Amino acid sequence: MKDKNKHIVLVYFGDFFYDARLNNMALSLIKEKYMVTFVGVSSQIIPIKLFKNITFRSVKINWKGKMKYLQFYLKVKKILKEINYDIILSGDLYSLAPIISANKLNKKIIYDCREIYFELAAHSNKPILKAFNYLYEKKYLRYVSSVMVTAKTDLKLLKKTYKHYKHLNWNVIYNFPVNNISLETDRIIASKKGVINVIYQGVLQKGRGIKTLIRLANYCQKINAIIVGDGEYKTELIKYFKRNDLKNYKNVTFIEKTPYLQLINITKQCDIGWAIISDRGVSNQFALPNKLFEYIGAEIPVIASSFKNMKKIVEKWQVGKAVSSTSNKENKKNIFEIFENRSFYFKNLSIASKSLNWDMQHKRFINILK
């Protein structure tokens, strides 16, 4: 069977249409004429022409707490037993168990390890969960043929941690965005002279610098905080508004999560991208998040955390500032300096966006399948 006729199944404990990494992989598979099925928790099948040939098998999750993982496991396992596939890709740690349990014919399994799961920030004070993730990952890696990670630092740590698995083929696939592919969206962010629109996009979670951005908008009326995304933390953010009676609430705009291929058109309507994360957990300290490269792809300067990987990108390409302070005064200064020198950054962003895009990862990803 020729590679281009092979059937690839993507499994992910999340919504396909809002996940940049899965969208990019799917576009590569479509380009190379693979048959593609997605199994995950997409709440709605969005009619995007680029994905018209993908078969979507949606899993409805209505169990709460830790039980939702069990429900996902049971439903995905059942679906996979109904599908005849050649290669299966686990989009996260949580998809490994149902994939391997259903893989009775020993088809090739690729694991996209997009986080250091045993060092997640959310588990920094939960040693039992950290240990569980390590043991879970260690158990199932014996059935995997290839592992993809998002940075060389992750590769080094994981190869050392699981050095006893000699059979694994390790690969770095960066979170670069797609180039020149986007869906039309209306202009929804007002552009006012002297007002700087700073965007945060992604899942709303603790430790992502969102409250810091909100406080900054409250501190300076010439800075608008544009927050695009959803998550359990959104409820806490609303409570934060009420609790602190923020006088400049109008300076903060929440926009519901947006399909990945539409997101770039919203990003382009802003002036600066916000990519600040806490230092809780090794996974955060090694982070090279989608949003960093998405801001660069949209050609807007960035304010990023000064962790090794993010700082290296920002300083190498001179596309913004890598900062460590959460001070309103310091962040205001950095934002205004970037805005005043935006022509310098635009020139660098134009160069960087031509290199830091998915076209540079496409061939590497397809070679993993082969």
Q: What is the pLDDT of residue 285?
A: 86
Distance CA 123, CA 108 (A): 31
Distance CA 112, CA 96 (A): 10
Residues in the chain with pLDDT values less than 50:
none
Bridge partner residues of 37 (DSSP): 9, 55
Write down the mean pLDDT value for the chain: 92
For 107-122, the pLDDT digits (tens) are 999 999 999 999 998 8
Using alpha carbons, list the distances in angstroms from residue 225 to 66, 212, 215, 221, 289: 33, 10, 9, 10, 19
Give 19's contacts (C-beta < 8 A, 6+ positions apart). Answer: 12, 91, 260
Amino acid (one-letter) located at 4 = K
Q: What is the pLDDT of residue 2?
A: 58
H/E run at residue 128? helix 127-141
Q: What is the CA radius of gyration of the chain?
A: 21
Question: E strands of the chain, at which residues?
Answer: 7-12, 35-40, 55-58, 87-90, 108-112, 146-149, 169-172, 196-201, 223-228, 252-255, 272-275, 302-305, 320-323
Q: What is the pLDDT of residue 249?
A: 59
The token duo for 221 is 């009326």
